[in-house]
Structure 1
Amino acid sequence: MQYSINDGFPYYIELLGGKDYYQLFTSKENINLLRSVTEEKAAWRYAPGKWSIKQIIGHITDHERIMTYRALRFSRKDQTALPGYDQNTFVDNSRFDELPVSQLITDLENVRNASISFIHSLSKEQLALTGTAWKYELTVEEFLKATIGHEVHHIDMLKKKYLS
């Protein structure tokens, strides 16, 4: 791979390996995997200081909310440069570990359905519009690819470090 996790958006886009991002958004494979995780397992951490599965699910959901908000603004020709966010601050100030894993998955599904609805509303011209977030200028379509690529990254980590 050309990029690493430290590169952010380009890394997540590269993780798709040419797969259709819309198909990944509509696939139920990852949701079904998450639904197979027990409440006990969802609270587990593979090492001290690492996030629980519940926190990872909540983080994926927060990230998708943020990224689709960015894509929305840029699809409407808003050229305001948008800042990054501190994922640890978001997780540290959440209630993810207090909530049932089923509720976290339902929240992710609700956000996902809104994302799919948003994607359906975009024209080819809107998908090609650009905006800047953090330190990258990307098209709206690239923001969407980075959004689902972020989930691909975390699901891969779950499979390797939590569910193996």
Structure 2
Amino acid sequence: MLASELPKAEYNPYYQPYITILGESSFKGCLQQGSELMVDFMKSISTNKLQFAYDDGKWSVAEVLVHLIDTERVFQYRALRFARNDATSLPGFDQDAYVPHSKANKRNLDSILKEYLAVRKATISLFESFDDEMMCRGGMASNSFMSVRALGFLICGHERHHKQILESRYLI
């Protein structure tokens, strides 16, 4: 399936930019190729840029990278619950509360990269374990319906969105 084919009923309109940014990306392709592009991008970041934030109150580069990892984990969990047909409504999460407690600015790039690779490998394995029926299942998260396959695309689109911000506003 392509991102552009994902029915809008399978995710909250808030997430539309994350789907749109993927264009004609395939589901499997965006997880694997996105990972390869992100790893190359992360390796290009100089150590002295890691704690840089482009304005007061904005996250540092390290905080953005760890935010991507945290969000991927949250979306993995949602996908697992929904794929297993768990009908429990899941709460949202406060990304702005997570960031300072991540202590991302105390980490080095190798540590962040190692965690990113482990999480993405787990994401790919998780989604590869889902059959078509599981991918079409969904549930409630943050008071909105989300399908399993939408969550996979959102992981990719969220990552691409933040990569573009890092490139344009952080000048990386």
Q: Could you state the TM-score of these two structures normalised by the residue count of structure 1?
A: 0.92
The root-mean-square deviation of aligned C-alpha atoms, in Å, is 1.4
Q: What residue in structure 1 maps to residue 32 of structure 2?
A: 26
Provide structure 1 residue ranges, at least 5 long, that are not aligned to the other structure: 1-5
**Residue 115 of structure 2 aligns to which amino acid in structure 1?**
D
Q: What residue in structure 2 maps to residue 3 of structure 1?
A: none
Alignment of 1:64-143 (within 5 A): 64-143=72-151
2: distance between equivalents of 1:76 and 1:20? Answer: 23
Contact 2:22 2:157 in 1 (8 A): yes
2: distance between equivalents of 1:22 and 1:97? Answer: 32
Identity level (%):
31
Contact 1:10 1:146 in 2 (8 A): no
Divergent runs of 4+, >6 A: none
Provide structure 2 residue ranges, at least 5 long, that are not aligned to the other structure: 1-11
Q: Deviations over 1:46-98 (max 9, x none)?
A: 11111111000100000000001000000000011111111010001111000
Alignment of 1:150-161 (within 5 A): 150-161=158-169
Q: What residue in structure 2 maps to residue 15 of structure 1?
A: 21
Contact 2:90 2:142 in 1 (8 A): yes
2: distance between equivalents of 1:139 and 1:67? Answer: 11
Contact 2:30 2:153 in 1 (8 A): no
